[in-house]
Chain A
Amino acid sequence: MTTLETYPITVGNVTRHVPLVETLPGMRIPLVEFLGDPELVEEAAKLLLEKLPEETELLFSLECSSVPLVHRLAQLSDLPYVVARKRRRAYMDDPLIQEVPSLTLGASDTLWLDRRWAERIMNQKVTLVMDVVSSGGTMKALDRLAHRAGGQVVGRLTVFQQGKREFNGELVYLYEIPIL
């Protein structure tokens, strides 16, 4: 085993020493992982709940790493949630398709939303939920998708804002993490 350099990340009372990964030559970022960490999810969901706009009627997120977080936030707030997919599924009927303008950590560049799920968003006041926002391209695509499904976006929440803010919509975040 090689020893990895780590970076301390704190959410409420939970601290994790996460690996620093080099995404581009000379650019390293702390790799936050909510998948497989119920304790971190619990803490983050509790704190996000305090920031959730009161008028919110539905939470909207995307696969995969934000899923446990939006599940828990939905439970705590007693609100429904919808998840956009990154691949077309065989059962999708007339899906909404949204290109993501920028790539973060090799994430897919297209979001898919089954029509049945888009209908749940229609005429709802929607808060967007993501675990980490860096350039904001994915958040912007999610925003656009919510609008196209007929929802009104009333909030954009994330646990971590990473690096320089380029997202020019209103974004509420709990913590900043650096690009080193």
Chain B
Amino acid sequence: MKTYPVEIAGVRRELPVVQVGEGVAVALLNLLGDPELTEAVAEEMARRLPEGAEVLVTPEVKAVPLAHALAVRTGLPYVVARKTVKPYMIRPVTREVISITTGKPQTLVLDGADVERIRRKNVVIVDDVVSTGSTLKGLRELIESVGGRVVGVLAVFTEGSPRNDVTALGHLPLFKPEQ
């Protein structure tokens, strides 16, 4: 299996290169199941936290351990944007985004209680990999629609084309699938 070597926050990993669509393969980062890497990344991100940050927001689910670890280090609360509306949610707010990679619609949801934790607050978005940015765009719009101010975006990697609206610890190229 083809792998891609990375060093993030002093931790080395061989990321598997996997096909995700017609003609596209990506180096797969998985923070789920990797506490060592998650904690090292959180330590590094805490140093890059934008001034005035009041709350962290992360999309479920791969970046959840990272948001937790960053919340522990910074003392800031964090909110998880879910991908489905749960029956127990009270006045949830949703936004549809179309994934540019898969072409499939994706829903981002904030529970009503979490909306109150974001409103009029300086929000930092935390994610593992920002690629096309469709999730990021949807999340940003969702946060702004409930009155939050996005003051920064922290990611482990940007992927594909570099972006200047994301503070990342590294960058991943896109790959051609192996024949």
A residues adjacent to B (C-beta < 8 A)? 4, 19, 21, 23, 31, 35-36, 38, 41-42, 63-64, 67-68, 71-72, 74-75, 80-83, 85, 87, 90-91, 93, 105-106, 108, 116-117, 120
Contact = CB atoms under 8 A, between A and B. Distances in A.
Contacts of A41: 68
B28 A63 contact: no
Contacts, number: 80
Given A21-B88, A21-B90, A35-B64, 19 more contacts: A19-B90, A23-B87, A31-B88, A36-B71, A36-B79, A63-B32, A64-B82, A67-B64, A67-B68, A68-B68, A71-B35, A71-B68, A81-B33, A81-B35, A82-B33, A90-B20, A90-B21, A106-B86, A120-B33
Interface of B: 16, 18-21, 26, 28, 32-33, 35, 38-39, 60-61, 64-65, 68-69, 71-72, 77-80, 82-84, 86-88, 90, 101-102, 113-114, 117
Given A31-B88, A35-B80, A75 B32 contact: no
B1 to A, nearest CB: 9
Nearest to A92: B18
B90 A4 contact: yes
A67 B61 contact: yes
Contacts of A91: 18-20, 26, 28
A80 B87 contact: no
Contacts of B83: 87
29 contacts: A4-B90, A19-B90, A35-B80, A36-B71, A36-B78, A36-B79, A36-B80, A38-B71, A42-B72, A63-B60, A64-B80, A64-B82, A67-B64, A68-B65, A71-B35, A71-B38, A71-B65, A71-B69, A74-B35, A85-B61, A90-B21, A91-B18, A91-B19, A91-B28, A93-B18, A105-B86, A105-B87, A106-B87, A106-B88
